[in-house]
Amino acid sequence: MIPTLPFGRTGHISTRTIFGAAAFWETSQKDVDSTMDLILQNGVNHVDTAASYGQAEQVLGDWIRRNGKPFFLATKTDQRTRQAAYDQIRRSLDLLHVDQLDMIQIHALHEEPDWITAFGPGGVLEAVIQARDEGLARFIGVTGHGVPVPEFHLRSLAQFDFDAVLLPYNFIMMQNPRYAENFNKVLAVCKERNIAVQTIKGITRSPWNDVQQNRTTWYRPLEDQADIDLDMHWVLGDPQVFLNTAGDISLLPQILQSAHHFVSRPANHQMQELSERLMMKPLFE
């Protein structure tokens, strides 16, 4: 059984493995339908998508139109100004065939100009608050990528009481002292304020670089079950965090299998051996 955990202060008891619908970027409706069947059969009760994930909202929405919404549903807006973001949120509701989102997130807020606009007069923060106040969304989150994102999240949490954050987390990424220090600060703030912590890039092997891309993830993922188990179990070994699945539906059965079998965090020497054997490299530097 996939472990569960209260999703911060939302009242939702979420599977710690969240389905990342970035995997539906260019996926046929037939494959979307079979993937949704798979995640529900495995007990996953939380789906995370975004307006900028290609056709993901549309194909997920078609499934919801026919089957209902038996899970916590989150999406994201990548717009930075109030009206543009509000219009995008309304479009997401239409595409997803729902009257209310469980969570709307400000997407990829990890660059200074975007951050200033987002929190300034007429910024996206006003739009997500409006959406919440109008009942279009229940909760508000913020997401980001890259080495600076924990620092941006700390600033964001100082400005507004978000219900959830999302950021990268894996063993290799945490070997970066700057990232590790600030990630742990984010964890501490979120624990104190009961804010959910979602993590991404859990099974990253390296950037693609000169390797021919054979997956729909924009990074090179781990592929062998034993390797996926080590990386996923290292992430899940932190009892505070959730893990969003990789953006490739062909990897999902292995990811779900690993989630079911989680018991404890591997030792650091096991992770070091894995990283040396596969010459793993951080996605962000």
Q: How far is CA 45 from CA 2, 18, 42, 61, 83, in A?
A: 10, 7, 9, 16, 31
**Three-state DSSP state, 239:** coil
**Mean pLDDT computed over 98-112:** 98
> Mind listing the pLDDT tens digit for each residue in 113-168?
999 999 999 999 999 999 999 999 999 999 999 999 999 999 999 999 999 999 99
110 in Cβ contact with 104 (< 8 Å): no
Q: Side chain identity at 219, as an amino acid letter? A: Y
Output the six-digit token pair for 30: 């037939």
| Rounded Cα distance, 267 and 277, in Å | 16
74 exposed, middle or buried (CB, 10 Å; 0-12, 13-18, 19+)?
Answer: buried
| Rounded Cα distance, 47 and 19, in Å | 5
> Mind listing the pLDDT tens digit for each residue in 65-90?
999 999 999 999 999 999 999 999 99
4-277, superfamily in CATH? NADP-dependent oxidoreductase domain (3.20.20.100)
**Three-state DSSP state, 279:** coil
| Rounded Cα distance, 100 and 73, in Å | 9
What angle (nearest 5°) sits at the alpha carbon of residue 65, between those of residues 199 and 41? 55
150 in Cβ contact with 141 (< 8 Å): no
**pLDDT value of position 162:** 98
Residue 285 has pLDDT above 90, yes or no: no
| Rounded Cα distance, 11 and 68, in Å | 20
Residue 210 has pLDDT above 90, yes or no: no
pTM: 0.97
